Structure formats: C-alpha cells, structure tokens
Amino acid sequence: MNNVLSVHTIRFITLVFLQVLIFNHINFMGHINPYPYILFIALFPIKNNRINIIVLSFFLGLSVDLFLDTGGMHAAASVFAAYIRPIFLKFSFGTIYEHQTIKFETVEFGSKLTYFSLLTLAHHLVLFLLELFNISKIILVFQKTLFSGIFTILMCILITIIFSRKNK
C-alpha cells in the first residue's frame, strides 16, 4: 500500500513539472501543445474510491493552473475527466472492468488506445471550451481539441510504452 502511495505521489509531481516546464513550451505549429498530465487520471487504480480520484484530479488540475495562469480551466477539465472515467472504462474494456481486474500493463493495445482517446477528447473539449469561453468560436474549440488531442494521445501512448514494466 505504501509503495502504491509513493508511486502515485511521484507520478503526480513529475507529471505536473513535465507539463509546465516542457510540454507547454512545445508550441507545435504555433499553438498546439500536448497535455499528457492526464495520464495520472487515466492510470489511477480502479479499485480505489471514486471520491479520491475526483479530489486528486481537482488538485492536479489546480496545480497546473497555478503555473500556467489559467484560472481553473485545467481543474475543471480534470475533474470532468475523472468523473466520467468509469463510463469510458466500461466502454473500452467491457467485461474485464466489471470484474475490476484490469492491469493497465497487460490490457490489449487497441482497447487501451480507445480508452486514452475518449478520456483525452473529453478532457480537451472542456478545457478549450473554458479557454476560449465564447460559444461563437465553437469551430476553433473543436479544431484545437482535435489537434491537441492527437498530440496528447500520441504522447500518452509513448510514455506508457517507455515506462511499462516488463512482467515476466
């Protein structure tokens, strides 16, 4: 239990720092940045209490907001993603989720990709809706969600592949 706690604490801090110091300065094609800090929400243990993940996501988003001067956009998007996560889990993993026995290192690549994509798009949609804060710019919201989303999904998959433990 102690081990799990320290792993998640380190993951929380590392992801926030990576996000604000590196990933937010990529500016691909002028303004496209990935937001891979949502890996923390995606890889949070499923057996755990849902209240924990919602509260932790709030603080995750709020710490990113503090660094980026974005008010509460990241906090809102993260809380939304954390709340809606069980629906995506059920959709992507089906019956394995019902038995609560998923290990993210062992699941199929296809269902993992579906899961990451759904979570990323939900998070980014809320994020960019709040960032632009203008319903008449809805096309720009979708455009940013799509481009940043593709980038984020790519980064998330890469990071999970690089840091996956070989289980033999």
Residues 6+ apart with CB under 8 A from 79: 54, 57, 58, 61
142 touches another protein by CB under 8 A = no
**CA 61 from centroid of its chain's CA atoms:** 10
7 touches another protein by CB under 8 A = no
**Phi, psi torsion values for 106, nearest 5 degrees:** -105, -10
- What is the nearest approach in angstroms of another protein to the Cβ of residue 154? 18
- What is the nearest approach in angstroms of another protein to the Cβ of residue 168? 38
Q: Work out which of 39, 41, 75, 153 binds another protein, going by CB under 8 A.
A: 75
Distance CA 96, CA 107 (A): 9
Contact range with another protein by CB under 8 A, out of 38-46, 79-87, 91-99, 160-168? 79-87
Q: Work out which of 34, 36, 61, 149 binds another protein, going by CB under 8 A.
A: 61
- What is the nearest approach in angstroms of another protein to the Cβ of residue 55? 7
Which residue has tokens 């038995």?
99
Distance CA 62, CA 147 (A): 23
